[in-house]
């Protein structure tokens, strides 16, 4: 069962550690103090405000994206638990039917033995061969009875094991259902904060809007510079084509759904979350990859950020748990962005933790 502060933003790979309160976001937004008359402010003030706004845009984007990954994983666990319960129910019914069938056979065997013993024959009417035949039948009946008893015992033990497995699956289902509800609630809180954030941005005009746009461009360049530092070498992002047909197909799919809405339900079309988009892009190329960002990162070969090529996945957050995008070349990615509420093509941003290559 997950434990949460109330209400929460999520910031790390473990849902129990995603503990940044909405109060922090509200305070930051309040400190910006934007108003339509912001054009009278100094350039320095505008720059500071733009930095604060962009900080919150990027932080909220990652937090909502991370929540969507947690939600997808919890929903998968819930579906698996429900399937396990259904499987256990079917196996329990089959075991009960088999027990019933064997008990019926035992009753029939017992009745047949009883009828055979009531034929009216006396001991004098049996010859030696008949007595030996009777002994053989007796031993055979005893062996069959022992076999049936053992089979019944095994079936009854199997029923008990199935009942225990069903109970475990029901417990897992309850935990997963609680996780799903809690994550969905936290996600709703984040989306409400994001809506407030977008409303603030919508009220600003003129110089502050230009400053925010300039800040976003500056951060894209800063992200490139950071990648060069962590990669221990230049990151030139050459504008080259995809290395193979599969990568080209994945990129073509992603470009084909640009502008589609961001959503966690549905998350693999016609609306997308980040990992739903990358999964479907590569699925269109005939390659199935995991459906959640951290399992995509864990299940695919890693490549240095200074050696990325079109079609690679770029990931954010611990072990790739917060966000994932499809690299399309020349320093650009396509991702499902919660802050832009759409599938967009844009420069690499923020602080990605690594890259993974679909092979």
CB 163 within 8 A of CB 93: no
What is residue 156's predicted lDDT score, i.e. its pLDDT? 73
| pLDDT tens digits along 123-149 | 444 454 555 555 555 555 555 566 667
Residue ranges of domains in the chain: 90-172, 231-359
Give how far the C-alpha of residue 112 lies from the chain's centroid of Cα atoms, to the nearest Å: 59
269 vs 166, more confident: 269
- Alpha-carbon Rg for the chain in angstroms: 33
CB 322 within 8 A of CB 275: no
Q: Quickly state the pLDDT bin for 315 (edges 50, 70, 90).
A: very high
Thinking of the domain 231-359, which architecture would CATH place it in?
Alpha-Beta Complex (3.90)
Classified as helix, coil or strand, 12 is: coil
Q: Quickly state the pLDDT bin for 342 (edges 50, 70, 90).
A: very high
Q: Quickly state the pLDDT bin for 336 (edges 50, 70, 90).
A: very high
107 vs 122, more confident: 107
What is the mean pLDDT of the segment spanning 158-171?
A: 79
CB 316 within 8 A of CB 324: yes
Model-wide pTM > 0.75: no
Q: Quickly state the pLDDT bin for 238 (edges 50, 70, 90).
A: low
Listing from the earlier edge strand, what are the strands of the sheet with 313-316? 302-303, 354-356, 313-316, 323-329, 332-337, 342-347
| pLDDT tens digits along 80-96 | 888 888 887 887 777 77
């Amino acid at each position: 069962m997950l434990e949460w502060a109330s209400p929460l933003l999520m910031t790390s790979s473990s849902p129990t550690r995603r503990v940044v309160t909405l109060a922090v976001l509200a305070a930051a937004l309040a400190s910006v103090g934007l108003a339509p008359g912001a054009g009278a402010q100094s350039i320095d003030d505008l720059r500071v405000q733009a930095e604060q706004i962009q900080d919150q845009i990027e932080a909220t984007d990652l937090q909502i994206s991370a929540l969507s990954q947690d939600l997808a994983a919890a929903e998968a666990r819930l579906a698996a638990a429900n399937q396990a319960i259904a499987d256990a129910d079917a196996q329990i019914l089959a075991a009960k039917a088999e027990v019933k069938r064997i008990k019926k056979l035992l009753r029939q065997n017992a009745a047949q033995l009883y009828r055979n013993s009531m034929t009216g024959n006396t001991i004098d009417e049996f010859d030696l061969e008949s007595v030996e035949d009777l002994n053989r039948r007796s031993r055979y009946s005893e062996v069959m009875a022992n076999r049936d008893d053992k089979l019944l015992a095994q079936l009854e033990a199997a029923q008990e094991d199935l009942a225990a497995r069903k109970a475990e699956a029901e417990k897992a289902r309850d935990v997963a259902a609680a996780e799903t509800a809690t994550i969905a609630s936290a996600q709703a809180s984040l989306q409400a904060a994001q809506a407030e954030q977008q409303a603030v941005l919508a009220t600003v005009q003129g110089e502050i809007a230009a400053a925010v746009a300039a800040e976003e461009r500056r951060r894209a360049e800063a992200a490139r510079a950071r990648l060069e530092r962590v990669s221990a070498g230049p990151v030139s992002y050459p504008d080259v084509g995809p290395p193979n047909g599969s990568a080209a197909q994945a990129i073509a799919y992603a470009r084909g759904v640009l502008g589609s809405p961001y959503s966690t339900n549905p998350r693999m079309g016609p609306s997308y979350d980040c990992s739903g988009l990358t999964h479907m892009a590569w699925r269109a190329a005939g390659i199935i990859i995991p459906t959640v960002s951290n399992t995509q990162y864990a299940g695919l070969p890693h490549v240095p950020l200074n050696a990325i090529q079109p079609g690679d996945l770029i990931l954010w957050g611990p072990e790739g748990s917060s966000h994932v995008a499809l690299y399309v070349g020349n320093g650009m990615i396509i991702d499902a962005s919660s802050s832009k509420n759409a599938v967009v093509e844009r420069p690499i941003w923020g602080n990605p933790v690594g890259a993974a290559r679909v092979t």
